[in-house]
């Protein structure tokens, strides 16, 4: 089990690339029928892949190069390990940037113009924005729970 906890980040990278390949195939079909969407799908796919690789590669570098024991350490930022703090900063920055794009900029309209990104596209941009406001609130609540130690007893048992 320790092996899985130590190399979970590799599994997550593999799943990221499988998801990216699946998205690419889905986008390819829609791009054939609507060539004007091809560039947007490509940009989204590149951004998605880069963000996910940054998250999981960040975890892997922490484990392999900086001696972080396993994935559970990343979920205990109160320990104050600089690499764990850096990893949480990556998560918060990516999540915040995505939510700002969706809610304050033109991300919701982009999703409406590229309907194959979301499986079920809400009919209005405000519904898409609402979804990502809820996502951002979830991110804030999760970070609060990590920082207050809410999950620490669970991680101590798993380590």
Residue pLDDT tens, the chain, 159 long: 788 888 999 999 999 999 999 999 999 989 999 999 999 999 999 999 999 999 999 999 999 998 888 888 898 898 889 999 999 999 999 999 999 999 999 999 999 999 888 877 677 889 999 999 999 999 999 999 989 888 777 766 655
Q: What's the pLDDT score for residue 121?
A: 67
Nearest CA-CA partner of 88 in 100, 97, 76: 76
Measured CA to CA, the distance from residue 94 to residue 143 in angstroms comes to 13
Residue 73 is predicted with a pLDDT of 87
Taking the model in full, what pTM does it have?
0.85
Distance CA 151, CA 141 (A): 12
Mapped onto helix, strand or coil, the DSSP state of residue 46 is helix
The confidence score (pLDDT) of residue 93 equals 95
The answer to whether residues 82 and 76 touch, using CB atoms and an 8 Å cutoff, is no
Residue 18: per-residue pLDDT: 97
């Amino acid at each position: 089990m320790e092996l899985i906890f130590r190399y979970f980040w590799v599994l997550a990278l593999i799943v990221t690339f499988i998801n990216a390949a699946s998205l690419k195939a889905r986008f390819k079909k829609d791009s054939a029928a609507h060539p004007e969407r091809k560039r947007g799908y490509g940009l989204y796919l590149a951004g998605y892949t880069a963000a996910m690789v940054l998250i999981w590669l960040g975890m892997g570098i922490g484990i392999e190069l900086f001696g972080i024991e396993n994935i559970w350490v990343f979920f205990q930022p109160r320990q104050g390990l600089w690499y764990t703090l850096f990893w949480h900063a990556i998560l918060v920055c990516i999540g915040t940037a995505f939510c700002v794009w969706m809610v304050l900029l033109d991300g919701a309209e982009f999703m409406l113009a590229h309907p194959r990104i979301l499986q079920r596209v809400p009919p209005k941009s405000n519904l898409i924005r609402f979804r990502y406001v809820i996502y951002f609130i979830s991110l804030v609540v999760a970070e609060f729970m990590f920082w207050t130690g809410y999950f620490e007893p669970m991680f101590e048992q798993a380590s």
